[in-house]
Amino acid sequence: MTIPRRTMMARLTLPLLTGAIVLSGGCANDTMPEPSSRSDAAAVDRALEASGSTTSGVRATPIVLSQEAWTFSGRDGYIIRTPHYRLFTTESDQVLRERMPLFLEHAIAHYRSAIAELPTPSQKLDTYLMDNRPQWETLSKRLEGERGASLLQIQRGGYASRGVGVYFDIGLYDTLAIAAHEGWHQYTQRTFRDPLPVWLEEGLATYMEGHSWRGGIPVFRSWQNLERFNALTRVTEASELLSVETLMTQRPTDLLTDDPDSVLRYYAQVWALTHFFMHAEEGRYAPGLRSLLNDAVEGSLNRRLVDVVGQAEASRSIGSRTGDAVARAYFESDGAGLDEAYRAFVANITRSGARDAISTGRSPL
């Protein structure tokens, strides 16, 4: 679920959609394509090796394996295949159209290495970038059937559902930021056997948003996210910081009020909470976060919860994707102590002068 960039722009009902359901989308000449081909890791590595590398280990050139004509509702477009994606697009902006394949490949490399060494999806990830909202609305209805109508409530950007990303053009930076956020959901929906709790799934998605461009190459930095930082600063200045317990037990939809900024405040805080688990107290919680992600990939998260909190609470936690059971199991900290440490961390990263570091992607710690 995404509500970035000042305006609510994400699905409010999709966080529970996680799993291995294959949803092929789009329609070449208005017919649905076949399911995406499985990703051959060795072939991908060979293709990446042939393209050259950067010091970060991410390849410097876009890996467009093939490009072919595609037609959607009478609009000409392209199917662009890369090692990990199959991109269907009617995008008319050449800059965005050409940057998207490169951005997606760097984004998935970021997902797989930013926190833990995570696996390659077994299938290519189908992704749609439509030129405008009307095309996106038509596509969503075709892909999602009856559910498509509820998705039309999204004001900007797009969503990820059952391993498929569906976006429309809202400008270069914002479109790509949404693709980074929803792309994380797309990745976990295809790759993780156990779903993460909502607070962590959404926090990690915000963690993956921050990026800039250097020499035509996207560079991902989790701190480089002024939208989240500014919202977090407003929260702290207004003394409205939610407790860790509230962040973990409520969903974003629970916080919807007549104030549209309430959800923006939630996302800013789960962004901060994820940084807390990665960087607070000299990385005290980071090993637990890595273990948590690896267990979710392997399907052993529930077993760990049962060992720590018992079967009944584990079942409630997995079923609702809320609560602090996961945090207790992996971070070995009581709620009060965790909340106190989190509040101190937020105060530190929003102190006077920290914005300069954030704007350039540097840690404010």
> What DSSP assignment string belongs to 148-214?
HHHHTT--SSEEEETTEEEEE-S-HHHHHHHHHHHHHHHHHHHH-SSPPPHHHHHHHHHHTT-EEEE
- pLDDT for 162: 94
Which of helix, strand or coil describes residue 215? coil
The H or E element spanning position 102 is helix 94-113
- pLDDT for 29: 38
How much is the pTM?
Answer: 0.84
- pLDDT for 253: 72
Render 241-302 in DSSP notation, one character per residue: PPPHHHHHHS-GGGG--S-THHHHHHHHHHHHHHHHHHHHHHHTTHHHHHHHHHHHHHT-HH
- pLDDT for 163: 96
Spatial contact of 150 and 48, defined as CB atoms under 8 Å apart: no
Taking the alpha carbons of 174, 176, 180, 185 in that order, is the dihedral positive or negative?
Answer: positive
Beta strands in 162-200 (DSSP E): 164-168
State how far the Cα of 148 lies from the Cα of 141, in Å rounded to an integer.
Answer: 4
State how far the Cα of 307 lies from the Cα of 295, in Å rounded to an integer.
Answer: 13
Please name the amino acid found at residue 125.
L
Query: Is beta strand 125-130 parallel, antiparallel or unpaired with respect to 164-168?
Result: parallel
State how far the Cα of 173 lies from the Cα of 169, in Å rounded to an integer.
Answer: 10
Angle at 191 between CA 188 and CA 194, to 5 degrees: 75
Q: Quote the tokens at residue 73.
A: 């509702």
Q: What angle, 0 to 180 degrees and rounded to 10, lies between the N-to-C axes of helices 94-113 and 172-191?
A: 40
**Cβ within 8 Å of residue 261, ≥6 positions away:** 231
The single residue listed with the structure tokens 């399907």 is 299
Which of helix, strand or coil describes residue 221? coil
Cβ count within 10 A of residue 219 = 17
Q: What is the CA radius of gyration of the chain?
A: 20
pLDDT lower than 50: segments of the chain = 1-32, 34-62
Q: Quote the tokens at residue 268.
A: 């800013």
- pLDDT for 337: 85
- pLDDT for 258: 62
Helix then strand then coil, in percent of the chain rounded to 5, is 50, 15, 35
Tell me the CATH number of domain 41-193, given options 3.40.1710, 3.40.1350, 3.40.30, 3.10.620: 3.40.30
Q: Report domain extents, the chain.
A: 41-193, 226-359
State how far the Cα of 112 lies from the Cα of 349, in Å rounded to an integer.
Answer: 26
- pLDDT for 18: 28
State how far the Cα of 245 lies from the Cα of 250, in Å rounded to an integer.
Answer: 8
Closest CA to 181 of 199, 158, 214, 148: 158
First vs last C-alpha separation in the chain: 28
Query: Is beta strand 164-168 parallel, antiparallel or unpaired with respect to 158-161?
Result: antiparallel
Burial (0-12, 13-18, 19+ Cβ within 10 Å), 286: middle
- pLDDT for 262: 84
